[in-house]
């Protein structure tokens, strides 16, 4: 494993593995053991420029390459992931602190998105549109945007890099990827290595490991990329969108969430408990779709709460390498301290801790809080970790009001014995995604993924990915002669 990290602890620019020339190093740590995994000298703004120029040079020929040839790259990338699945899972466990369940979940989706990229490589490239002008033929071509800049997050780094990078490449673009500095391998150079082995033309995909402390806004201001895809916090996303708009770039923003799982009075309580526990505590709650809030109708609140708390107490906290561990470490000490502060603030405001987990280093045990004041800011912001708020409600009207009382609108779920009642409830919620009788954490290659309000702008997956990373070009052909008014 150590050799895997050292081999990939470089920049990947212009088809070459090389060290950065910045003034400091990104130190990649195992969040559980605090072991140093790798050290990477950061890329400078000049190296970001080199990466973008390389992608632009390679993109023209790539876009002109037969779609069937392009398709072969993604078939080989898929085989590479399948052949190295155990090694990649171990890397995710070490660098991200993900459990074996989380690593398997991430790898499953990576393979699904690579399969979708095989299809996208053969996506139809144009249509004929009728014209009111006699003899005119309107051809509308779908063409790559050119170069896409991708900024990936730390929580599901391999998946959230691949699900953007692979479709963007499949549709004929060049890509420059900047991973989060806490996960530079799983979210960055591992992706480059997979595609290098798959035979992607050199220079088309570049990975720069760096930070705004070194490059400022150079990654998003650079004149080459026409689209910037960012996954992360709404605070940073707002800045990315502002800079992109100022430079006439398109931005695709997948931002935070404050999802709610709602238990109506006719729900299957045992099933709802299982869904709620998974939805809150998968990957230590470090998921934008995680259920920060669990809303329960007062008529079933006592039963649900007793069973929910009992199940939470069974969750094993510890070494993510242990197959029985459910909750591993959060990504870093800053995140752990923030979560401890959230619990302290809730208790100071009058909340009751049904479960109060200890915080030791990066290990944050689950906390279940109730009686949080309805006007508390904690209920309206994203809580990125294993802390959950239980909120009782009286009837559907109040549930809808509480669910929507947040700046976010990404995901959510409702549990009920009546499927159509659940669908009707879901349609009332101001959110990009909602699930009936299921958890809140889902992603599939063909359905539009994204949020509203502070949860983002734009969609990914399926045809919405095509919209994100291509543009249309109208070419008209006049058969015969036009008649001009002068």
Position 302 in a domain: yes
Whether residue 194 is found in the same domain as residue 163 = yes
Domain that holds residue 177: 2-255+455-474
Closest CA to 166 of 229, 211, 100: 229
Same domain, 181 and 300: no
Residue 416 lies in a domain: yes
Q: Which of 257, 224, 254 is nearest to 241 (CA)?
A: 254
Of 30, 26, 1, which Cα lies nearest the Cα of 361? 30
DSSP-assigned beta bridge partners for residue 317: 327
With respect to residue 50, please indicate whether it lies within any of the assigned structural domains: yes
pLDDT, tens only, 332-383: 999 999 999 999 999 999 999 999 999 999 999 999 999 999 999 999 999 9
* Helices and strands per DSSP (H, E), number in the chain: 16, 24
* d(C-alpha 277, C-alpha 28), whole Å: 30
Question: Do 70 and 205 reside in the same domain of the chain?
Answer: yes
Looking at the structure, do residues 171 and 125 belong to the same domain, yes or no?
yes
The CA dihedral of 194, 197, 201, 206, to the nearest 10 degrees, is: 40
Distance CA 42, CA 31 (A): 20
Give the confidence band of 125 by pLDDT, cuts at 50, 70, 90.
confident
Catalytic residue flag (residue 244) = no
Query: Active site includes 349?
Result: no
Whole-number percent of the chain with pLDDT over 70 = 100
Q: What is the CATH number of the domain that holds 67?
A: 3.40.605.10
DSSP per-residue codes, 49-73: HHHHHHHHHHHHHHHHS-HHHHHHH
The number of distinct structural domains making up the chain is 2
Q: Which of 106, 112, 116, 254 is catalytic?
A: 254
Residues 293 and 405 in one domain: yes
Whether residue 396 sits in one domain with residue 304: yes
Q: 392, 296 in Cβ contact below 8 A?
A: yes
Characterize the bridge pairing of strands 452-453 and 408-409. antiparallel
pLDDT in tens, 63-104: 999 999 999 999 999 999 999 999 999 999 999 999 999 999
Q: Give the pLDDT confidence score for residue 183 in this predicted structure.
A: 98
Catalytic residue among 106, 112, 288, 396: 288
The answer to whether residues 238 and 281 belong to one domain is no
In a domain, 228, yes or no: yes
Residue 2, pLDDT score: 57
> Containing H/E element for 481?
none
Q: What DSSP letter does each residue of 10-39 carry, written as one string?
A: SEEETTEEE---SSSEEEEE-TTT--EEEE
Are residue 154 and residue 272 in the same domain, yes or no? no
Q: Give Cβ neighbours of residue 87 (< 8 Å, ≥ 6 apart).
A: 4
CATH number at residue 383: 3.40.309.10
Please tell me whether residues 314 and 463 are part of one structural domain. Answer: no
Answer yes or no: is 278 within a domain.
yes
């Amino acid at each position: 494993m150590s050799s895997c990290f050292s081999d990939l602890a470089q920049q990947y620019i212009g088809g070459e593995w090389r060290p950065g020339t910045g003034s400091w190093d990104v130190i990649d740590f195992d969040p559980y053991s605090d072991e140093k995994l790798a050290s990477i000298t950061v890329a400078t703004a000049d190296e970001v420029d080199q990466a973008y120029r390389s992608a632009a040079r390679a993109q023209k020929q790539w876009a002109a390459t037969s779609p069937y040839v392009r398709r072969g790259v993604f078939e080989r990338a898929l085989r590479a992931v399948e052949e190295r699945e155990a090694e990649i899972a171990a890397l995710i466990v070490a660098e991200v602190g993900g459990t074996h369940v989380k690593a398997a979940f991430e790898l499953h989706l990576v393979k699904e998105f690579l399969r979708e990229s095989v299809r996208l490589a053969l996506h139809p490239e144009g249509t004929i549109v009728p014209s009111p002008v006699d003899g005119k033929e309107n051809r509308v071509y779908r063409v790559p945007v050119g170069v896409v800049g991708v900024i990936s997050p730390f929580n599901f780094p391999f998946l959230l890099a691949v699900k953007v990078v692979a479709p963007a490449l499949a549709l004929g673009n060049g890509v420059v990827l900047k991973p989060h500095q806490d996960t530079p391998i799983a979210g960055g150079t591992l992706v480059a290595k997979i595609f290098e082995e798959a035979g992607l033309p050199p220079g088309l995909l570049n990975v720069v490991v760096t930070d705004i402390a070194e490059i400022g806004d150079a990654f998003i201001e650079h004149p080459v990329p026409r689209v910037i895809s960012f996954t992360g916090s709404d605070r940073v996303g707002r800045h990315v969108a502002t800079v992109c708009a100022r430079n006439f770039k398109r931005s695709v923003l997948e931002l935070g969430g404050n999802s709610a799982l709602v238990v109506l009075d006719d729900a299957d309580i045992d099933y709802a408990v299982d869904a709620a526990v998974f939805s809150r505590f998968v990957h230590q709650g470090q998921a934008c779709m995680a259920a920060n809030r669990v809303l329960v109708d007062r008529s079933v609140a006592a039963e649900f709460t007793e069973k929910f708390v009992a199940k939470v107490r069974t969750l094993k906290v510890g070494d993510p390498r242990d197959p029985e561990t459910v909750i591993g470490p959060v990504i870093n000490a800053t995140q752990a301290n923030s979560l401890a502060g959230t619990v302290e603030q809730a208790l100071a405001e009058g909340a009751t801790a049904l479960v109060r987990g200890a915080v030791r280093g990066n290990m944050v045990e689950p906390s279940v809080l109730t009686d949080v004041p309805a006007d508390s800011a904690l209920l309206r912001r994203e809580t990125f970790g294993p802390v959950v708020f239980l909120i009782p409600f009286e009837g559907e009207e109040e549930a809808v009001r509480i669910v929507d009382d947040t700046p976010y609108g990404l995901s959510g779920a409702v549990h009920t014995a009546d499927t159509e009642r659940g669908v009707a409830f879901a349609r009332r919620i101001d959110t990009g995604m909602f699930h009936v009788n299921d958890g809140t954490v889902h992603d599939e290659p063909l359905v539009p993924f994204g949020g509203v309000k502070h949860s983002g702008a734009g969609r990914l997956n399926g045809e919405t990915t095509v919209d994100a990373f291509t543009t249309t070009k109208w070419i008209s052909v006049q058969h015969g002669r036009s008649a001009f008014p002068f």
